[in-house]
Structure 1
Amino acid sequence: MDSLTQGNVTPTWHQAVAMCQALAASDRRVTLHEVGMSDVGRPIHALVVTEHQAAPSVRGSGVEAVKQRLANGGLEKVRVLVNNAIHPGEPCGVNASLALVQTWLNMSADDRHPLATSSWVFIPQYNVGGASRRNCCTRANQDGPESYGFRGNAANLDLNRDFVKMDSRNAEAFVALFRGMDPDVFVDTHTSNGADYPYTMTLITTQEDKAGPVLGPFLREKMTPALNERMQARGWPMVPYVYSKGQTPDQGIVGFLETPRYSTGYASLWGTLGFTTEAHMLKPFADRVQSTLAFLEELASWLAISAHEVKAVRLAERQRVAKARTLPVRWALAETQEDSIVFSGFEAQRVWSPVTGGTRLRYNRDSVWTRAIPFDNRYVAVAESKVPSQWVLPQAWRRAQARLAANGVAMTQVPSDTVVLANVTTIESFRSAGKPYEGHHPLTVDSVASTVLPVQLYAGDWLIPSDQEAKRYLMEVLDPMAHDALLVWNFFDAALQRKEYYSGYVFEDTAEDMLDADPALRVRYKAAQSTHPEW
C-alpha cells in the first residue's frame, strides 16, 4: 500500500485492473465486474466491496452482477459510488481507492467496520482511452506523478461534460451502472487547476440551492460541515473548490454550479448526494493521494453514524419530486450574496517577468494571510416550469429516445395514428455556438412561447408520463430552458431549420388581398413595420 500512497507513481490501466483482480482473488467480499465498453474498445470495470462475501454465481460481468452483490449486502446499507480517472491526468483517486480497499480488507470484521453500514463500488479508471495515452507533460503545472493519462478520451471528449448527451460509450456504461445501483452518495475524484494556496484538498459539493429544498439544507448545514470538521481533525483542512471571483482568491470565490453535463450535476437529477474532490495540483502527488484517501475514509466514518439520515433524506427527496407540480430548470447566482468563509492564502504579487518584459503573477508562499473572504454560493431559480402530465416524443427523434431509454425512462408507444391537443412550446429565438464544444455547437435559448394546438401523432410515437422516478431528469433534459437540455446539445436542430420558401413578388398580390379583407390584420402589420422597417 505504501507504493500507492507514498510514491510518485500511479498505475496504468492494465496495472490498475490487475490490482483489482488481485484484491478480488484475495477476499470474497470483493468482486470485479466489466460493466460496459469504453470508446477505445477496452472494458470499464466496477470493483464492488461489501460486508458480505460474494456467492460464486455473482462473480460475473455486467451491471446485473453488481446489483446482485449490493442486494445481497443489504438494502439498508448506504450505497457509495466512487468514480476515478474521468480525467486520467488527475489520478489521485485511483491510488487512494486501491489503498482504501486494501486497508478495509486488513481490518477486523466487526460492527465498527466501515462496510457494516455501507457498500462501495469503485470505478478504477473510467476514461480508459485517456488512461491509455500515458505521458509526462500534458499537465504542465502539476507536481507528479511521473507519468499519467490524457484528459480527452479516445474521441477527444471530456467525459465530465458527457453525462446528458452521452456521446461516448463510456457514458453509456456509467449511466447503466449508476441507474442500476442507485447510489446514495457519489464521489468523483479530480485534481484542481488555478490559483496557489496552502490547502491540499478542496471540495465541490452538489450546489445546494440547485439540489433543492430537501437535499440542499442537508448538504449545507449537516453533511459538508461534518466532512470539513473531520478533514480538519485529520490534518487535511478542506475548503470549497477555489473558483476565484477575480484572478486571485483574496477577492473571494464562487460556488460552482455543476449542471447535469457534469457527473455530480447528473447525480443530483436522481436525488444522489454528490461530491467532487479536487486535490491541489501544486502539492506533491503523495500528498494529493493521501488527502483523497483521508476524504474517502472520513466519508465512510461519517456514514457509519449517519446512514439512516442519508437514507431518510433521499426518501424525502423522492417524495418531494413526486409531488412537485413545478420544478426549477435553470439557476443563476443570486444578486445578493452574504456568505463568507475563513480562508488562508498566499500573498499574490505582481512582479517583473524576464520572459515577457511585463508583469506576472507570483504567489509568495512565505507570506500567508488568513481572513474571511466572500463565498458567493447562493443561487436562485431563473426558470421554473410546470410539470406536464406527459411529454410527446415523435419517433423520428430516435437519438433523443435512445438517451431516455438508457436512463430507464418509462415510455409507451402510440398504438395508432391520432390527433391530440397538446401544449406546444415554440423556440422564438436562439443562438448557436460559433465554435465546436465537446463535439457540438450548443444552443443558447433566449425566448420561448407556449400554446395549445392540435398535434398529429403517428403509430409508434412515444408518450412519456411524468409520474415516474425519472421526473426531474425528464424536466432537465426536455425543457428547452434547462441548462443541459437535449435541445441545447443539438438533438433537435433539424426542427429549427426552415424548409419551405416562397417568392415575395408572387405573394405580394395575396398579401394585399389579405390586408384588404382583414382591417385588424392591417393594424397589426403596420405596428410590426415600426419594429421591422424592412417589412
Structure 2
Amino acid sequence: MINAIRRKRVHFLAGCLLSAAVVPATQSEEYPQAPLPPLLPWHGASEQLIVNTGDWVTPAEASDFHTTPDYRQTRAFIERLAAASADIKTTDIGTSAGGRHVLLVTLTESGSDAQANGKPTLLVQAGIHSGEIDGKDASLMLLRDYVNGKRELHQLVQHANLLIVPILNVDGHGRKGPYTRMNQRGPDNAGWRSNGNNLNINRDYTKLDTPELRAVMDVINEYHPSLYIDVHVTDGEDYQYDITYGYTASFASDSPAIADWLESNLRSNLDSALTAAGHIPGPLVFGVNPQEFSDGITHWTALPRFSNGLGDLRHTPTVLVENHSLKPYRQRVLGTYVFIEAALKAVGDEGDAIKKAIASDQRRHPKTQVLAWETSKSPDLKVFAKQPFKGMAYKKVKNPITGTEQVVWLGKAKDYPALPVFADNVKDVEVRVPKAYYLPKKETLVLARLKDHGIEVTAPSRPRATLTRLSADSHTFADKPFEGHFRVKARFSEEQVQVPLADYVEIRTDQPLGSLAVALLDPRGPDSFFQWGFFNQMFQRTEYSEPYALVPLAEEMLKRDPALKKEFEKRLQDKAFAGDPRARLDFFYQRSPYYDRAYLQYPVLIQN
C-alpha cells in the first residue's frame, strides 16, 4: 500500500524467511486480533462465481476465504490447471533473493505464443505486497472456470491473451501469519510487505534493485502488454467502495492518448461490470487529514517508482488496483475476478484503439517534461458534485491511549457531497528535454538498469561533442536509508565542455522510452538514478593536499597571478574565512592543477 504502516522487526535465518510473523515470545496464535470497524452487509451477483464442490474448488474457496494457499499449494494448483488445458502454460521468469521461482501463467487460444499471435495482451500482477494477495486467488478461480469451460471466458480469450503473475513477492508470501496485516480483513495467513531483502518491491520500478521486478520488466519488454494491472489492497479511511483503482490523469500524463483511453473507455467498462456484479467501484482514496475525513482526498499523481507512474512514462497503459482493506477477503477476491474479466474483455474489444494510443504517445517528443508534481492548495469541488463520495460515518472520541481525539468509524454509510479533491497538478520540477544523454561506460550498474528497462543505448554518433556538464553546488543526503539507498538532492550549475566520446554510450530521447530516460537521467527528478544514490561517488575526494607542499605553492601562485591575489584579499574581508586556516588553504588548492576536477561533477553529460 501507498501509505502503509511499516513493520520494523524482520528476522532472517540463513537467507530464508521465517514462515510466521514475528511476535513477542509471550504472544501465541490466540493473541487477540486488532479490532476493525463494523461492516456494512454485502451480497452481490459475483457470489455466484464461488464453487464449493467438485475437483476444482480453489484452496481459498475450500477455506471459505479465511486463508490463501501457500507458495507450494498455489504452484500445485496452477500446474493442475496447466495439465488440464493446453491453453494454459507456466514459465518461471525469475528467482527471488530467497531462491524461490517467480511464476508467469499465460492463457491463450490453443496455447499460442502470446508474443507472436497478434492479439492484444492483458498482464495481471498480484502480490507485489504479498499480504495483499486478492489477485492471486481471483486468478485461480478465473483460470479454473476457463478449464471448466466457461463460455464467456473462452470467447474473451479468442480476442486477447491473458498473462498472470500470481505471486510476485514470493519470499514475503512465505512469511505469513495472523499478525502481518493489522488493518486488513483477511486472509488469516496474509504474507509480508517486503521481500527477502526487506525491500518494498513497490518502490523499485525505476531503480530495479530487486530480481522480482527485473523479471516483471522482462515480461513487459517481451510481451508489450496492452494493459498492465497491478493488484493491491489499500488501507486508511473507511468508505463504501470495495474496489478502487486509478492511473495517471491526463493533466499530469506523459501518455495523454493512453490517459484519454483509460478515462473515456476503460473506466466505464470496468465500473459497469463491477456495479452489475454487486460491487461498488471507486477512485483511489488518500485522505488529506486522518483526523477529519471531510477535509477531502488527494488526486494522487504517482512517481515512476510505482507501477502506474512508470507505466505512464513508458507508454504502457497501467492501472493500480487498491481493494479496500476493511472489506472481507471474500468480497475483495470476487470483485477482483470481475475486474480482471472486464479488463480482458476491454482489451479484446479495444485492442486497435489501445494500439493507436500507444503508438501516438511513443511518437511524442515534447520540449519540456515535468518530473515532479505538487498538490494544489485549491480543492476541486466538482468531482463529487453530481454523485457524492460514498463514505462512512465517523465520530471523534478522546482516547486514553493517545491522550487525543481519535477517529472512530461507525460502520454506517454516509455520502459526502462536493467532497474536496486536491489534485497533484502543480508543476514542481520541470526540465527541458535534451536530444541525448552521454553515460560513461564505466557506470556499469546504471547501464545495466537502462537495458533492464528496455531503453535503447548506442555508441556515440560522433567522436567529440560540445555538451552540458552539471556540477553540484550544494547537496543534502538523507539522514537514514530508504529502500536500501541513502537518497541525495542537489542544486546544479551548468557549463559547456568539449568532450571526446570514446568512453561514453549515447541515450537519445527520440525513442519510444525517451520520457523514461529523462526521468532516470536528469538528476533533478525525484526518481532519477542520481537521487537514488547511484552516483554518490561524485561526492568523495581521494586525493588531498599537505600544508608543507601547498603553502609554498600558494605563495608562488600569488606572485604569478595578480588577479588571484586580489580575489584572495577580497575573501579575507570575510572574518569566518580569514579565521579558518583550512579554508584559506583550500582556496588555493581548488585553483591549482592538483585539484580533482571530477569532484561534484555529475558524470552524465547532456546534449541540448
TM range (shorter): 0.7 to 0.9
| Aligned with 1:402 (options 440, 448, 454) | 448
SS in 2 for 1:409: coil
In the alignment, which residue of structure 1 is the partner of 2:189?
147
C-alpha contact 1:97 1:124 (8 A) present in aligned 2: yes
C-alpha contact 1:160 1:263 (8 A) present in aligned 2: yes
Distance apart, 1:308 and its partner CA: 2.1
In the alignment, which residue of structure 2 is the partner of 1:332?
374
In the alignment, which residue of structure 2 is the partner of 1:382?
428
Separation in 2 of the partners of 1:232 and 1:441? Answer: 45
CA shift digits 1:381-400 (9 cap, x unpaired):
33333333332111221111
1:227 pairs with 2:227: no
CA shift digits 1:137-185 (9 cap, x unpaired):
1111221112121111110111101122122211221111111111111
C-alpha contact 1:420 1:457 (8 A) present in aligned 2: yes
SS in 2 for 1:195: coil
Specify the code of the residue in structure 2 equivalent to 1:425: L
In the alignment, which residue of structure 2 is the partner of 1:314?
358
Residues paired across the two proteins, number: 513
In the alignment, which residue of structure 2 is the partner of 1:443?
488
CA shift digits 1:450-490 (9 cap, x unpaired):
2211235454x322233323212211110111121000111
C-alpha contact 2:194 2:200 (8 A) present in aligned 1: yes
In the alignment, which residue of structure 1 is the partner of 2:308?
264
1:188 pairs with 2:230: yes
Q: Quickly say closer, same or farther: Cα 1:507–1:344, change in 2 above 3 A.
A: farther
Distance apart, 1:415 and its partner CA: 11
CA shift digits 1:93-113 (9 cap, x unpaired):
110111122223434668982
C-alpha contact 2:146 2:154 (8 A) present in aligned 1: no
C-alpha contact 1:271 1:318 (8 A) present in aligned 2: yes
Specify the code of the residue in structure 1 equivalent to 2:65: G
Separation in 2 of the partners of 1:432 and 1:480? Answer: 14
In the alignment, which residue of structure 1 is the partner of 2:10?
none
1:493 pairs with 2:539: no
CA shift digits 1:35-84 (9 cap, x unpaired):
11111111111100112334xxxxxxxxxxxxxx2134x32x22111111
C-alpha contact 1:249 1:345 (8 A) present in aligned 2: no
C-alpha contact 2:316 2:358 (8 A) present in aligned 1: yes
C-alpha contact 1:206 1:273 (8 A) present in aligned 2: no
* Root-mean-square deviation (Å): 3.0
Q: Quickly say closer, same or farther: Cα 1:532–1:481, change in 2 above 3 A.
A: farther
In the alignment, which residue of structure 2 is the partner of 1:64?
none
Specify the code of the residue in structure 1 equivalent to 2:496: V
Q: Quickly say closer, same or farther: Cα 1:231–1:432, change in 2 above 3 A.
A: same
In the alignment, which residue of structure 1 is the partner of 2:458?
412
In the alignment, which residue of structure 2 is the partner of 1:369?
415
Distance apart, 1:432 and its partner CA: 1.3
In the alignment, which residue of structure 1 is the partner of 2:474?
429
Separation in 2 of the partners of 1:214 and 1:517? Answer: 58
Q: Output the TM-score relative to the length of structure 1.
A: 0.87
1:166 pairs with 2:197: no
Separation in 1 of the partners of 2:127 and 2:320? Answer: 12
Separation in 2 of the partners of 1:528 and 1:24? Answer: 80
SS in 2 for 1:137: coil
In the alignment, which residue of structure 2 is the partner of 1:10?
68
Q: Which has the larger radius of gyration?
A: 2
Q: Quickly say closer, same or farther: Cα 1:423–1:361, change in 2 above 3 A.
A: same
| Aligned with 2:158 (options 91, 104, 116) | 116
1:21-60 → structure 2 map (5 Å cutoff): 21-54=79-112
Separation in 1 of the partners of 2:375 and 2:557? Answer: 48
Q: Quickly say closer, same or farther: Cα 1:289–1:108, change in 2 above 3 A.
A: closer
Identity %: 25
SS in 1 for 2:363: helix
From the two aligned structures, give the one with the greater strand fraction.
1
In the alignment, which residue of structure 1 is the partner of 2:395?
349
| Aligned with 1:475 (options 518, 523, 528) | 518
SS in 2 for 1:412: coil
Separation in 1 of the partners of 2:360 and 2:182? Answer: 45
In the alignment, which residue of structure 1 is the partner of 2:336?
292
Distance apart, 1:261 and its partner CA: 1.2
| Aligned with 1:462 (options 459, 482, 505) | 505
Gaps of 5+ in 1: 55-68
